[in-house]
Amino acid sequence: MKRRRDTLDNDGLKSAPGSIDVMISLADLYIQNNLLDQAVELLSGVYSENPDEPRIIEKLIELYILKGNETKAKILLQQGLSVDKNYEGFQKYMKLIEEEKTADRIREVIAEAVEATEEVIPLEELEEAKTPAEKTAEEQVEKVEEVEKPLIEVPEKEIEQKVEEEAGVDPIKRVLSALYEIDEVLGMILSDETGLLIAENVRVTIDTESTGALLSSIYTETVSTLERLNLGGFDYIIFEFPRGVVLILASPPIILTVMCKKDVQEGLLLLKAKSVMDELKNMLGV
Amino acid sequence: MKKELEPLIQLDEIYGVIAASTDGIIIESATRKEIDEETAAALTARISKEVADKTGIKKNVLSIIKGENGYLIFTIKKDFVLGIIGGNDVNLGEVKQVLRKVADRIQGILSG
């Protein structure tokens, strides 16, 4: 990352609109798989570089609500409203909070009304008066009511993905791991055009964040060179180093880097990587 | 030196061959299509430097860069960069093989 910072001005550090979309899609995937901490970590990084981006703030608000940290959600909402008070996403959460306040007030009114009742029957007497069947039924109702209804409901269609997560499978890593069908593949890094790490799946010890950033820097240089040589838009790069091969595939705003042993069959690698890239594009909606 | 580039420029779909110093000055070139050789040399050297700087590997690197309209393929040697620009239908296996051989010969000449 540092090298990117050396070569870009402050504006250059901000993620491109397409990259924001990818990060939000990825965060959605994490949310669908109940990987809330990963989603917060991902978006916090993007937020630190894009503090005025309403979509990132909105998604972070959603995340903190899901995590049950309403204080943080409200602080972020205030921040969001100061950025754009008319932004639809912020208005939505304002309404939710207002409704919640109304509900609290209603509960308070009911409590006040109960306290004001002149004839109060002791709870013990009421319990004794119930039949066993009534008690059992009420216990069941209480158990159901104990389940806190989240502010944002997760659609049923995502249950299947949640099951996968419970089995310890990250959906993006799962797609990336298809490349391990090629024995010589050592790892993959998925980053955005600015070098921000989206996901990694590596079998070797490397600093994936730095590597992704460095390779995206080479990619950026290559794109401009292809244009100047009238060779058209970027398709891919293969680097044959003395001890290994690196493939970089890009479909803006995402960049897939695959690291392999020296003796990999490059044609097979390219075909497989393109297929993985297509699947990732569909998954991330880019 | 020009003769050394002939095996490359004669391959199918090759538009131009450029040998340049690592700082982008043309050592020798041969073209079959209109190519701005100086720009090509400068850009090839620039990417080579970027690769060397970012990876720390400064020689014996072969790069295949595919654009929508063709290829830029180059090899980074100790003292120079040898690159070709070709169309979409180049035979990659053949180009790589010949590029390496020619680069080794040029390295021999330059090392003298």
Q: What is the ipTM, given to two decimal places?
A: 0.93
Residue partners of A59: CB distance under 8 A and separation at least 6: A24, A27, A28, A39, A43
Query: Scanning every residue of chain B, which has its alpha carbon at the shortest distance from the alpha carbon of A239?
Result: B63
Task: Please judge whether A217 and B40 are an interchain contact, meaning their C-beta atoms are less than 8 angstroms apart.
Answer: no
Give the residue, A31 or A106, on which the prediction is more confident: A31
Q: pLDDT value at position A35?
A: 79
Q: B59-103, pLDDT tens digit by residue? A: 889 999 999 999 999 999 988 999 999 999 999 999 999 999 999
CA distance A34 to B111: 61
The parent domain of residue B69 ranges over 2-111
Long-range contacts of A231-235 (CB under 8 A, 24+ apart): A231/B65, A231/B67, A231/B68, A231/B69, A231/B70, A231/B71, A231/B72, A231/B85, A232/B67, A232/B68, A232/B69, A232/B70, A233/B67, A233/B68, A234/B66, A234/B67, A235/B66, A235/B67, A235/B68
Query: Scanning every residue of chain A, which has its alpha carbon at the shortest distance from the alpha carbon of B38?
Result: A229
Partner-chain residue, chosen from A229, A233, A242, that has the shortest CB–CB distance to B72: A229
Report the number of distinct structural domains present in chain B. Answer: 1
CA distance B100 to B19: 12
Q: Give me the domains of chain A, ranges plus CATH numbers.
A: 1-160 (1.25.40.10), 170-284 (3.30.450.30)
CA distance A26 to A158: 14
Q: A183-217, pLDDT tens digit by residue? A: 999 999 998 888 788 888 888 777 777 777 778 78
CATH of the domain at B17: 3.30.450.30
Task: Please judge whether B39 and A228 are an interchain contact, meaning their C-beta atoms are less than 8 angstroms apart.
Answer: yes
Residue A262: in which H helix or E strand, if any?
A: none
pTM above 0.80, yes or no: no
Scored b (16 or more CB within 10 A) or e, A39-74 reads: bbebbebbbeebeebbbbbbbbbbbbbbeeeeebbb
Q: A14-73, pLDDT tens digit by residue? A: 556 667 888 888 888 778 777 788 888 888 888 877 888 888 888 888 888 887 777 778
Q: A254-267, pLDDT tens digit by residue? A: 999 999 999 999 99
Task: Single out the residue of A250, A252, A245 nearest to residue A269, CA to CA.
Answer: A245
Token representation of residue B52:
């060397």
Q: pLDDT value at position A173?
A: 85
Q: Which amino acid is at B40?
A: A
Task: Please judge whether A229 and B51 are an interchain contact, meaning their C-beta atoms are less than 8 angstroms apart.
Answer: no
Q: Is the peptide bond before A253 cis (omega within 30 degrees of 0)?
A: yes
